Amino acid sequence: MTKKSATKAAEKNKKLLVGIDLGTSRSAIAADNGKRKWVESYVGWPRDFIARKVVGKPVLFGEEAVAHRLSLDIYRPLKNGVIKEGTARDEEAVKELIRHLLSLVRPESDDSRVRAVVGVPAESFKVNKVALKKAVAEFAESLLVVSEPFAVAYGVEALDNAMVIDIGAGTVDFCIMHGTVPAEEDQRTVLTAGDYIDQQLESFLRERYPEADFTLNMVRRFKEEHSFVGEPPGEVKVEIPVEGKSTLHDITDEMQRACESILPAIVETTLELIAKFDPEYQDAIRENIILAGGGSQIRGLADYLEKTIGEYGPTTIKTVEDPLFGGADGALALACEMPEEYWTEL
Amino acid sequence: MANADSKRVKSVILQGVYEENLKIGAGSPASVRRRAILRRRRTAVPVLLILLVSLALVTGRFSPLPDRTPAAEPSALAEPAPMLPWPDILSGYTHAPLAPPPAEKIVSAPLPAVPLDAGRLLDYDLLLNSDSVRLSAVFGLGVQTIVIDPGHGGKDPGAIGSHGTMEKDIVLDIALRLRDRLQQSGNYRVLMTRDDDTFLSLAERVRFANTHDTDLFISLHINALPQKESNVTETYYFGPPSDLYTLRLAEQENRGSDIQTGDFRNMIRKIGDLLKEQESATLAATIQQSLFSNMQKYDKKISDAGTKIAPFVVLLGVDAPSVLVEISCITKQEEELSLGTESYRDQISLFLQQGITRYLSQRHIQVVKGEKNDKEIGNKSG
């Protein structure tokens, strides 16, 4: 083989390994070229040719899509963290989202073949494998689908006697790790997650401040900035317009009630999963609980859970260092360590 | 974990991931076999469609919609369908050799010359894969028999409050009151899995429901939480992932193909499963909404855990739409004391009845209000 043809062959075989965490609210990607990006899980197409001219692009993503929402048919295709099926546009939106995520980590000149590990919510595992394969087939040479909390666990090397609680927007995913791929009975998904807090907070605020003028999107931003459980860190005050005039509102109580509304389900599911596990290892699991996902950033959450679950025995709860990329990093770790023979072409 | 151990565990895990993915792999032998089976079944499509019509006509549960001509009339079926999305199938019907259907299956409905309403029958993509279609409304299904299942009983007390109140006694009393309330309307046959302090295994409860033509199954429980100050109400239903998978798989297989309704058995099962899931979810939502909004008046701090999906055996086993209601928490002292009063238990039975009644009154709404993506964000959500 000549040097030139050898180089060509090497280029042809060049692979880009990526880990993707597809979420209701945000989707993240991490690649083995060191790039990590995230995007709000919104996809929007201009409504008509005028809108197309105004926004200047055929398709918009994330915050940019939200900012131009009046000109766009906008989609948030990942209901409960899974691909919403039923309309071609939602599937198209997932495709565009994945295409966009890949474009963020792969320069245009780079024609390496993509091998992806994609994380999906625990309980919707099988459904999503099929749907994702459809969505990814166009862009990737090979794909493996894993559950999100499992990807997180792999990323932080919590492989044995550990439990991951991944608190996302659409779902809270639970997964017990015991030295092998978690089975269905080791995993749970609860649907009262970040979006549920938003809905609760919105409803509490409308009740208390009926004159205030706000959107669910604003409520979500309030939550992301001020969420807490337990003892309030101080007064939570936010600016909300009233008859067009920006006015300061105290939302401390409402924020607390809304954030705490997801706790019973989390505690109950955690205890239930642990209780079902081999009694000899229950203590070890309780002492190795890892919180991941955006919801893990709620102030006071780890302390609250540690205290509540601690009533059953010594409990240690840690939070992943980078909740936004926990799933994507874990998926990338899997991709990097996956033996060559386990990659099969789509 | 020691390095060698870690390597070994990782190796096991990576192999596990590979094997898990193989199960769903598009090119896996199982998938190839499935496609081959579908191809073989293609020739039987028209016969199967006819059988579907027969089934819809002969079973009481698949009664025709009230404003339609009874489908048993061959003339109704002989009307040309205005839109036939898959003409290949129809031509296949005309020319392909038909396997003779089992004699007992065609007794109830004579074979029409041409199933020209097939276009509509074939459009299961809309029925099975649209959030906005409610099968109970499409098929005009009614509810006759409601089974109430008070949890625990006999040797199994269930949760016990700090004052000694037992879950089995509270739920039995509420269930009896609920039965009386539902019976008052005179529209339903209301049965109880137990109406005294008897122990029943989960299998016996399931068997009872499945052998009594149950249309709705409602299991009542009281919760116990480690946080003694917490009070939570929540309602569960079962959403088996394998069924969803079947649905999605069918959708994937169907798209762009000319064999979209090739598997009669699968179709029937899917309709049943989807129907159960749709109805269970709706029933759970109406009960939960009624319970929470009303119980707030008694305990302002009660939390709404919403409707949840969980693999309770009793919910899986019962064929009919079924829910499991965790009414409140007996571990909260104040709640335990309230549950001990007759008036409170009677009120709870009323809240449950209201939720069930609301569900029953909604059954004829054909199109469920779907989520609109563009309304989720940005626009005022009030």
pLDDT of residue A8: 59
B214-236: string of b/e by CB count within 10 Å (b at 16+)?
bbbbbbbbbbbbebeebbbbbbb
CB contact under 8 A, B379 and A215: yes
Cα–Cα distance between A168 and A198 in angstroms, integer?
12
pLDDT digits (tens, 9 = 90+) for A225-280: 999 999 998 999 999 999 989 999 999 999 999 999 999 999 989 998 999 888 88
pLDDT of residue A252: 96
Q: Which of A181, A190, A264 sits opposite B232 (nearest CB)?
A: A264
Q: Which amino acid is at B6?
A: S
Residue B200 located in a structural domain: yes
Cα–Cα distance between A27 and A148 in angstroms, integer?
12
Q: What are phi and psi of A112, to 5 degrees?
A: -65, 150
**Predicted confidence band of residue B307 (pLDDT cuts 50, 70, 90):** confident
Which residues does chain A have within 8 Å of residue B131's beta carbon, measured at their own beta carbons? 86
pLDDT of residue B104: 33
Long-range pairs for B152-159 at CB < 8 Å and ≥24 separation?
B152/B199, B152/B221, B153/B194, B153/B197, B153/B198, B153/B199, B153/B200, B154/B197, B154/B198, B154/B199, B154/B200, B155/B199, B156/B199, B158/B221, B158/B222, B159/B222, B159/B223, B159/B224, B159/B330, B159/B331
Highest mean pLDDT (candidates A168-177, B18-27, B81-90): A168-177
What dihedral angle (degrees, nearest 10) is formed by the CA atoms of A62, A68, A70, A74? -20
Are A271 and A312 contacting, i.e. CB atoms less than 8 angstroms apart?
yes
The residues in B 292-331 lying below 8 A from A, measured between CB atoms, are 303-310
Cα–Cα distance between B99 and B102 in angstroms, integer?
9
pLDDT of residue B161: 86
Chain B CB within 8 Å of residue A124 CB? yes
**Predicted confidence band of residue B262 (pLDDT cuts 50, 70, 90):** very low
pLDDT digits (tens, 9 = 90+) for A6-50: 555 555 568 899 999 988 788 899 999 999 999 988 899 998 888
pLDDT of residue A96: 87
Give the mean model confidence (pLDDT) for residues B60-68: 34
Give the mean model confidence (pLDDT) for residues B144-159: 91
Domain-ending residue, one of B70, B89, B122 = B122
Cα–Cα distance between B23 and A186 in angstroms, integer?
19
pLDDT of residue A2: 57
Residue B187 located in a structural domain: yes
- Higher model confidence: residue B171 or residue A106? B171
- Higher model confidence: residue B220 or residue B368? B220
Q: Tell whether the torsion through CA atoms of B185, B186, B192 and B196 is positive or negative.
A: positive
CB contact under 8 A, B306 and A191: yes
- A334 by Cβ neighbours in 10 Å (0-12 / 13-18 / 19+) ranks as buried
pLDDT of residue B301: 87
- Quote the strand ranges of chain B, DSSP E: 145-150, 189-192, 216-223, 232-237, 303-309, 322-329
Q: CA B36: distance to chain centroid?
A: 30
CB contact under 8 A, A192 and B309: no
Summary mean pLDDT of chain B: 66
Measuring CA to CA, how many Å separate A83 from each of A41, A65, A125, A217, B199? 11, 19, 11, 21, 43
Q: Do domains A160-192+262-319 and A194-260 have the same CATH topology?
A: yes
Are A227 and A297 contacting, i.e. CB atoms less than 8 angstroms apart?
yes
Q: Name the residue in chain B with its Cα closest to that of A312.
A: B226
Which pair of tokens denotes residue B358?
């609301």
Highest mean pLDDT (candidates A302-311, B159-168, B290-299, B311-320): A302-311
- Higher model confidence: residue A319 or residue B273? A319
pLDDT of residue B85: 32
Which residues does chain B have within 8 Å of residue A179's beta carbon, measured at their own beta carbons? 9, 12-13
Give the mean model confidence (pLDDT) for residues A68-96: 71
Residues in a beta bridge with A250? A237
Q: Do B116 and B175 belong to one domain?
A: no
**What is the CATH number that goes with domain A194-260?**
3.30.420.40
Q: CA A104: distance to chain centroid?
A: 17
Are B277 and B317 contacting, i.e. CB atoms less than 8 angstroms apart?
no
Q: Do B55 and B190 belong to one domain?
A: no
Q: Name the residue in chain A with its Cα closest to that of B245.
A: A127
Chain A CB within 8 Å of residue B25 CB? yes
Residue at token pair 């936010």: A238
Residue B171 located in a structural domain: yes
Cα–Cα distance between A86 and B372 in angstroms, integer?
13
Which pair of tokens denotes residue B281?
């979810």
Give the mean model confidence (pLDDT) for residues B277-287: 88
Residue B110 located in a structural domain: yes
Measuring CA to CA, how many Å separate B6 from each of A154, A156, A298, A321? 11, 12, 32, 21
Q: Among B83-87, B289-293, B321-325, which is the least confidently predicted range?
A: B83-87
Q: Which amino acid is at B365?
A: I
Chain B CB within 8 Å of residue A164 CB? no
Residue A190 confidence (pLDDT) above 90:
no
- Quote the strand ranges of B238-332, DSSP E: 303-309, 322-329
N- to C-terminal Cα distance for chain B? 52
Q: Work out the number of other CB atoms within 10 angstroms of the CB of residue B246.
A: 19
Residue B22 located in a structural domain: no
**Predicted confidence band of residue B244 (pLDDT cuts 50, 70, 90):** very low
- How many CB pairs lie under 8 A apart between chains A and B? 152
Q: CA B261: distance to chain centroid?
A: 22
Highest mean pLDDT (candidates A30-34, B116-120, B331-335): A30-34
- Higher model confidence: residue A230 or residue A345? A230
Chain A CB within 8 Å of residue B3 CB? no
Residue B4 located in a structural domain: no
Q: Is the whole model's pTM more than 0.90, yes or no?
A: no
pLDDT of residue A123: 54
Q: What are phi and psi of B216, to 5 degrees?
A: -140, 140
Are B254 and B290 contacting, i.e. CB atoms less than 8 angstroms apart?
no
| Residues spanned by the domain of B290 | 145-362
Summary mean pLDDT of chain A: 86
Domain-ending residue, one of B60, B88, B122 = B122
Residue B9 located in a structural domain: no
CATH number at residue B326: 3.40.630.40
A54: closest CA of chain B, how far (Å): 19
Residue B73 confidence (pLDDT) above 60:
no
The domain spans of chain A are 14-154+326-342, 160-192+262-319, 194-260
Tell me the CATH architecture of domain A160-192+262-319. Answer: 2-Layer Sandwich (3.30)
Domain-ending residue, one of B122, B156, B172 = B122
DSSP string, A133-150: HHHHTTT-SEEEEEEHHH
**What is the CATH number that goes with domain A14-154+326-342?**
3.30.420.40
Characterise B158 by phi-psi region: left (phi > 0), alpha (psi -120 to 50), beta (else). Answer: left
- Higher model confidence: residue A220 or residue B119? A220
> What's the total number of domains in chain B?
2
**Predicted confidence band of residue A67 (pLDDT cuts 50, 70, 90):** confident
Say what the ipTM of the complex is: 0.82
Q: Do B58 and B189 belong to one domain?
A: no
CB contact under 8 A, B309 and A90: no
Chain B CB within 8 Å of residue A338 CB? yes
Are A145 and B21 contacting, i.e. CB atoms less than 8 angstroms apart?
yes
Chain B CB within 8 Å of residue A9 CB? no
CB contact under 8 A, A129 and B14: no
Q: Which of B230, B244, B374 sits opposite A73 (nearest CB)?
A: B374
Which pair of tokens denotes residue B333?
């002292």
| Chain B interface test: which of A125, A126, A173, A242 (most B C-beta within 10 Å) | A126
